[in-house]
Chain A
């Protein structure tokens, strides 16, 4: 059974750096084609794709946030980490990680999401 679970702080202050961890099981990021993406959803708004890392350690970022995002993986621990610098109240959202079975494929399994509020 494939599962993903997001973890990280529920509250961060403006200008701080957010670090989120996606812990997964049931698949390996050493397997050819496998990817993990981060997607966020502000309260009452639409989904927004943020970043993707694939099995070969290639990384892709949404253009609008590329300067603030870093995605990395630890295959031995089955984890993917997203850092976002310069947090602002507009970054308040639920952050999801999701698996893709190929680059530019669907997100077939999602974590339950972790809510992050940016406030002083």
Chain B
């Protein structure tokens, strides 16, 4: 089965840049989606189709891809960005696959 690998945690100071990676075999051939989940809440879509932002998502959230790794970048991190972040793709077998999640801590 297809797997996505994320670092368990990322720590960043306010105003700095957080980068959350998502690795998977030939991930560049798939559309990658990113979700933010705060404690006790449902996930919120922050990036779709690798790099597009839904309406209402701040510009400081961006998505990119390089070398078999997708990356969610949060520029100018705010305290309110502290959350778990999950990447998601659709496997060729039609399974939806999530990464293990990355907890972003704002120091």
Contacts and interface: CB of A to CB of B under 8 A. Distances in A.
Interface of A: 37, 39, 46-49, 52, 60, 62-64, 96, 98, 104-108, 110-113
Contacts of A111: 42
B76 to A, nearest CB: 24
Contacts of B35: 47, 107
A110 B33 CA distance: 14
A47 B1 contact: no
Contacts of B37: 47
Interface of B: 1, 31, 33, 35, 37, 41-45, 48-49, 54, 86, 88, 90, 93-101
A77 to B, nearest CB: 22
B42 A106 contact: no
A107 B101 contact: no
B45 A49 contact: no
Contacts of A106: 31, 33, 45, 48-49, 88
A111 to B, nearest CB: 6
A110 B36 CA distance: 12
A90 to B, nearest CB: 17
A49 B97 contact: yes
A107 B45 contact: yes
